[in-house]
Structure 1
Amino acid sequence: MLRIIAALSATLMLATVTAVAQEPAPSSHKGMAKAGGAKSDAAAISRATSAAPPDIGRHAAVMAMGADGKMKELRPGTNGWMCMLDLVGDSMCLDKTWQAWGDAWMNKKDPPKPQAVGVAYMLNGDKGASNTDPYATKRTADNQWVVSGPHIMILPTEASQLESYPTDWTKGGPWVMWKGTPYAHIMVPTKAMAK
């Protein structure tokens, strides 16, 4: 998950195009799937959009890293969602609220107060992240590293809405990731997770 979110810094430079997007956008952790060639672009689009329900992925903008190291829009969107694929195959689709959150996370600033509940999909799961440290890049003895199966991520409109959820991901229900930080959010498994 962190690798995908890390890619948001470059992606969110396009936020004036993509985040405004309830209208079509113009075509135009560490990395995204490299863009290059119609066949590889089609494969990256397919994998990236598979992170969300088909009706969302079908109309989402899709971003990838170009051969020049700059973000490239592989496909414009028409629904305000943005889907991405990282170099190791993790995929994520974000609504506008999550896109703003990702910009804040990347720039280490407080996220804007969500005006609406934010939703992000990772229906293919992820390769892992710390449950306590938003900037951890690897497992340590005390950072509660969790590899999440398919899940949805929710940003509530009020931080107090997080209080009733546990931080324990092993119980099979929703939990709060990064509790006590400005980046806290609810993780909702869509399938039982391996322990």
Structure 2
Amino acid sequence: METGRQLPHVARWLCCVTFVAFVGASLCMGQDAKPGLKIGVVNLTEVFDKYKKREDLEGRLKGERKKKLDIMREKRKEIDKLQEEVQLYDLGAEARRKAEEELDKKKVEYEGYRKLAEDGWLKQYMESTQQLYVEIRDELDKLGREEKFDLILKVEDRDVRSETINILQLKIELRTLLYHDDKLNVTAKMIKRLNDKYAK
């Protein structure tokens, strides 16, 4: 019971100490520290979309994917042709058995090639995205140091229109910055820096 009566006194004492410390810190900051933080915001999605290197990398990857898709289509045609040939032979005929074996072999080859191709695409896209992100992050670090920013925060597009409720909810949940002055936005500056550097 004694401890319970002492708690309000302890709380008041802590509040007084905290207030004094806060006032003291504020006075010190007023004398020695910078007047305020320099903050910027950047839309990473827009930077990615308008980075010329990303466009070129994506174009190259799409070209490689098209070549593999063409090969897969040819393999699929071979399978379709063999399936038609199998139907021409009588059930139990030796020729039909051999054709079916060849058909099974072609199907296994096709599935193996398709799996390798899909895994390869995913790996290439992941590595390319990671490479681009590191370049953007490093350039943003340089911009921050050169222009003496204290913070550069990620901002999303203001337009949250979506095709499904799930995507809409995700956009809302991921939004961390609800308002900023447009003067803080360094997105256009970042895009220019990256594209100028890539063009050299």
TM class by shorter chain equals under 0.3
Comparing both structures, which one devotes a greater share of its residues to strand? 1
Q: TM-score when scaled to structure 2?
A: 0.21
Where relative contact order (Cα < 8 A, 6+ residues apart) is larger, the structure is: 2
Q: TM-score when scaled to structure 1?
A: 0.22
Structure number with greater Rg is 2
